[in-house]
Amino acid sequence: MSIINQNLGSTVKAKKGAKIAIAVSRYNREITSALLESCKKELIKRGVLRNNIDVTEVPGAFELVYACKKFVDLNKYDAVIALGAVIRGETPHFDFIALSVSHGIMELNLENKIPVIFGVLTTENLKQARDRIKGGKRGDKAAEAAITAIEMINLKIN
């Protein structure tokens, strides 16, 4: 979702009683804690009750898929959001993790009946990650993930 689409989502409100789970990576905590804070703030702003937001932490981005699957399997959430930050380093590790997590989240969406939102930053460096949190130069990707979750919960297809 782009910054432009985030503005279009300004009227999006959560359905009454919406329950959302968030899986967040501890790795790159400077970034992920800001993502979590922003995501929860946006959900609450849009009508999700604080008590209806459950959060679990996992060691790294790779483990997000497993945590999201566990949330999905509980059958008590309307959406699940994965938050993390994969920042390129000196080895190809970045490529494997970013691709695996994105494919894992995609598979969860195809195999299950609730949306799983990809709120994982994949950046070249720490500066780019910082630019994507809390309304930096590239917007607020966690707020966008929150809005996307609510839009997908509200999705109606005739």
Task: Confirm if 155 and 14 have CB atoms less than 8 A apart.
Answer: no
**Residue 103 annotated among the catalytic residues of the structure:** no
Q: Which of 50, 51, 156, 69 is nearest to 116 (CA)?
A: 69
CA pseudo-torsion sign 45, 109, 135, 37: positive
Active-site pick, 13, 29, 76, 93: 93
* β-strands 79-87, 53-58 pairing: unpaired
Which are the catalytic amino acids?
93
